[in-house]
Amino acid sequence: MKLNFLTAHELLEPPGQGSISSGDIVSDLKGRIESVEPKVKAYARQPFFEKALNQKLEAGWLKGLPVSIKDNICSDGDLTECASRILCGFVAPYDATVVKKLREQGALIFGKTNMDEFAFGSSCENSAFHPTHNPWDLDRVPGGSSGGSAAAVAADEAIMALGSDTGGSIRQPAALCGVVGMKPTYGRVSRYGLIAFASSLDQIGPMTKDVRDNALLLKAIAGHDEKDATSVKTPVPDYLASLEKGVKGMRVGIPKEYFIEGMDPEVREAVNAAKAKLSSLGVKFIEVSLPHTEYAVAVYYIIATAEASSNLARFDGVQYGFRAAVKTDGAEPGLISMYKQTRGQGFGQEAKRRIILGTYVLSSGYYDAYYSRALMVRALIKQDFDKVFNECDLILTPTSPSAAFKIGEKTDDPLSMYLSDIYTISVNLAGLPALSLPCGFTKASLPIGMQILGRPFAEEDIYRLAFAYEQSTHWHKEKPKL
C-alpha cells in the first residue's frame, strides 16, 4: 500500500523493522496529488514538495510527518492568502505558533489547503481560487470553511491537516468528508498567526483520518502562548494515554432541541444507531435541554459579522496584498478612491455581505439593539451548557443536518447556507470543545458525522468516547473511490 493511505500513527510505528522516511511519504503524497488533485482541488496552490524535503527537522515525536495547513494560518516565507484576492501575493513573515510547535515536534509543513474566503462559508465555494470538491462525490461540496483540509485528508492527499473553526468550520467539513475534526476549547490552542475572522470565536484544530491521529496532532499544537492574550495557562494532558480508558458508566446527554424537524432522516437514523452502539459499550444516555439553542444562529451572525467587520478593516491595499489600479474622476481624493476600488474588487461577495452586516450591527443606533443583546443571549447559551454538564459528562448530537449538498445548490440562498452550521455554532458561542467523527453513510454513499461536545478543557473525555465508538465500527476505514 502507498504510504499516503496510512494514518500518522501507522507511519510512526510501522510493523517490522526499520522506519519510514519523510522522502518516501512525500513521494507517495506527490503521486496521489498529481493523480486526484485536478478533480478534488483540495489545495489552494501547489504543495511544497521540494521545500518540504529541505526543511530542517527537529527531533520530536512527529518524526518528519507532513502536515497540511489551512490557507489562513501563517507559515514563514509561504504565501498565505485566505483564499482571497485582496491578500493576493501576501507572504507570511513569521510562523504561527501552531506551525512553530509542529516544526519543534519534527513535522514537515507540506502545503496550504483551500478554504472559503477568510473562512466565510460552509461549502468551500467562496474561495477566490476554485471550489473544492467532495472526494465521495465530486459534484458535491466538502463543507467549509476548512473544506480543503477535510477533502485533502479524505482523499489521502494529506496525512494530517489543520483547520480553523469559528462556527463549525472544522466539524462540518469533517462530517461531510468522513474524517475526524476537533474544535478545541477556546484558549486551548494559540491563535497567534491565524488571520482572524471573529476573534472571540476562532480556534485552530486538527483534521485527521482517525481519532488517534487527532489526539496526536492536538497534543502537538495545544498549550499556553504568551503571544495570544486569550490563550489559557492550563496543563495539556496526554490525550493519547486517555484513549483506552473505557466508557462504561459515562453519562452522555441528548439535547432534545437538536433532534427536530428538518434533519435528514438518514442522519437521524445513523446517529440513533451510534447511540445504540455506545449503549452496548456501557454508556448511559440522558435527555437534556438547551433551551436557547433556537437563538444561536441569529446570535452568531451578529457577533461573528461584527468582529469580521472590525478585523477585515485592516485590508486596504496599502502595505500588502492586492491594490486596485485607481481610476478617479476628480470627484474624490485618490486615496479614498483607492480604498473603495481595492476593497470592492478585492473582497468576494460573501466577504462583502458579512462586512456590511457587521458594520450595520455596530453602527450608531443599532449597537445596543443588536450587538449588545446578542452578547447577553450568548451568555444564556453558555449557561444552558453549564447546567447540562451538571447532569452529564458529554453531549452527543448530529454534526450537520444533512450530508453533503450539490455544488451550487445553496449559493443563491445565503440563509440556507448559514443553517448548515445549526448544530455547531453554539459550541463556539460557549467556547466549548467538540469533535466530529464518522457514524455512517447515506444510501448515496455520502458520509454522515456525529458530534461529541464536552465541558471546557474536556478534550480527553471527548477522545475517550470517540475512540471507543470508532474502534467498535468500521466507518473510519472506508475510502472514497476516486
Residues with catalytic function: 70, 145, 169
Which of 149, 100, 105, 148 lies closest to 127, judged by CA?
A: 148
Whose CA is closest to 384, among 476, 291, 282, 250? 291
> 140, 405 in Cβ contact below 8 A?
yes
Q: Residue 229: which residues within 8 A CB-CB, separation 6 or more?
A: none
Cβ 74 vs Cβ 99: under 8 Å: yes
- Helix/strand/coil for 438: strand
**Which runs of E-coded beta strand occur in 337-461?**
394-398, 434-441, 447-454
Give me the amino acid identity at 319.
Q
Return the half-sphere exposure (C-beta side, CA atoms, 13 A cut-off) of residue 368.
2
Contact criterion met (CB below 8 Å) for 457 and 433: yes
The single-letter DSSP state of residue 91 is B
Among the listed residues 154, 163, 36, 153, the one whose alpha carbon sits nearest the alpha carbon of residue 98? 163
Q: Using the Cα atoms of residue 268, residue 270, residue 271 and residue 274 in order, give the sign of their dihedral.
A: positive
Omega within 30 of 0 (cis) for the link into 280: no
Give bridge partners of residue 441 from the DSSP assignment. 447
Q: Under a CB-based contact definition with an 8 Å cutoff, are residues 339 and 316 in contact? A: yes
Nearest 5°: phi and psi at 110? -100, -30
CA distance 461 to 251: 11
Cell numbers 476593497 correspond to 343
CB atoms < 10 A from the CB of 238, how many?
11
Residue type, 40: V
Element (H, E) at 354: helix 349-362
217, three cell numbers: 496532532
Which three-class secondary structure string do you get for 193-223? CECCCCCCCCEEEEEECCHHHHHHHHHHHEC
258 contacts 224 by C-beta, under 8 angstroms: no
